[in-house]
Chain A
Amino acid sequence: MEKAFLVKYGEIGLKGKNRYFFEETLVKRIEEALRKIDGEFTVTRPQGRIFVEGSGFDDDEVIDALSKVFGIIWICPCIMTDDNGFDDLSAQIIEYLKEELGDEPFTFKVEARRARKDYPMNSMEINVELGSRILDAFPNAKVDVHHPKYLVEVEIRERINFHFLKHKGAGGMPVGTSGKAMLLLSGGIDSPVAGYMISRRGVTIDATYFHAPPYTSERAKQKVIDLARILTKYTGPIKLHIVNFTDIQMAIYEKCPHDELTIIMRRYMMTIAEHFADLDKDQALITGESLGQVASQTMQSLYVTDHAATLPVFRPLIGFDKQDIIDISEKIGTFDTSILPYEDCCTIFVAKHPVTKPRLSAIEKSETKLKDVIDGLLKTAYDTTETILVK
């Protein structure tokens, strides 16, 4: 008998003819996640399930790595064993239950599946016989067929596997099954969460960060790289474009009304992010905006910002309260980095009373004041952008 992991996936099972593609991708993502931890692994895909087998691994490390792979619903540590008869099997199952549960009182239900029809007992017979042997072995155990605390699942194939423990997976769909998008990543709490949420729908992520030296420091930039690195645990490698935004900000500051500075800045961020999105063949932009959170995130502001982009803008946090976002940020491990106190370029020149209900025509008119310089500035920004692959 060996320890292994049964991986259960949900939504991708529903994808009709694409199912094969989804499953292949999930297996690839699982293999990538396992490459980062100690141990030798093989990932196999018999009908409708994925098994992770291997040697030299630590159980908890495997579960932790798998829990970050989108597309997985449950991670079930299981035992793989050869068929040495039913007595041997039930003894093994009882021993395993003892090892994991001690004398803890529990309710359970046995659910056998017989994929190999030459096994001498049918599923019903296994359920009944195994159930009664467990009851004999555990005086504190009870059968509960409706809401068992533990569902003891036994699957008879060439080899036999059984499990009763399970850990919640990250859900969603495997990265690489839903196209590519460009995340506008800042050092704040929201944008990493937005990237996480879209990636969870199977999307491959690229990212753009706006750096404004000397107003933002090298540490602020390092913080963003660190955030991207945390995200890669879920998303896989991220191509990060670090754009020097200072001169554009200065030009806006000099030529446009101060209370419109932030909204105009946001629009140029969209333009620049879209430039790199085109190069990277991304089909959408992702931002961490949440309706009404700050002046640049009122509906009027979002309307104006949106007009600077031609790609669809995904805003997965649009209806979230700040606390909801913080909760996710803590769960995915970006929060502690996000709250490091380095200033980002959105806050340095923010007006005391920025416009909250900008009109598109007025903003576009203000932007004409930049018409002599902006093309050159954008070109310089594109040319001087530093692109790194964060792994």
Chain B
Amino acid sequence: MNFDALFDHIGQHTVDGLAKGAIYALVALGYTLVYGVLRLINFAHSEVFMVGTFAVMWTWIGIGAGNTPSIGIAILLLVLGGLVGAAASGGTAVLVELVAYRHLRRKNAPSLVFLITAIGVSLSLTEIFGIFTGNGERKIQGMPTILNQSIAIDFLGVEITNLQLIVLAAAFLMMIGLDQFINKTRYGRGVRAVAQNPDTAALMGVNKDRVIVLIFALGGLMAGVAAVLWNMRYGFTRFDIGFVIGLKAFTAAVLGGIGNLRGALVGGLLLGVIEVYFATLTASKWEDVFAFIVLVVVLMFRPTGLLGESLGRARA
């Protein structure tokens, strides 16, 4: 264990970890929203993210974006990418709900059945993108670099790059926006009502189906934003990219307390930091092992995650 490498640059590792975790957090929101309302692990959410990365990539390539355009065009591309990504991911998530989950809910199927359906959906989407994109070569697909990485802030030797800053800022903004939406708007009240007690909410005139479509759309929207940030930062995508991100995001959601919006943020950021710390201490190959061990330890002491779980209860 190389403690010197960790503690000599602890600030830098923390920043790296936070920026890494911010993307987990955005994807984790999708798991948390759906779980908070439906008590259901939407395993297909990883593919919702994957679809977003492809949509953004095609948009950028489609409008002929070159490498490192001027700052104005870059911002335009990012915003446009964000909109397209959010629409594509949101649309995919809603489609999954309408095609698959809705029928199961009608039958009040147990959660295991949702899980397997989600896995089926996930497999189908992965295969569709594997077969029909990139000549069916199943390789990574690159895209233009929209923004060159540069040091934006250098604070006491801790270097924060512009990309990291954008990722963090966007994640926090989306998070605050979502939190406000859920807590302040009429729609948000509906979501909270259904999360707390679906039957009572229905009696009070909340249209449950509409709320459910809404949460899938919101989760997809967050994944779409995560997708554009991913593309900006890493500049590639692949048909099976969702799996690892989905796994990490789900872990993050559980770590923070699944069903809790702020928990997803805390869990995502924390997971990113843990991974970077342990990758620095040992080798990158061990980071997942430590991430899961930390998860188990946290769950032993706080069985519902760091911030507790309920979407409804937390703000009731």
Pairing of A with B: no
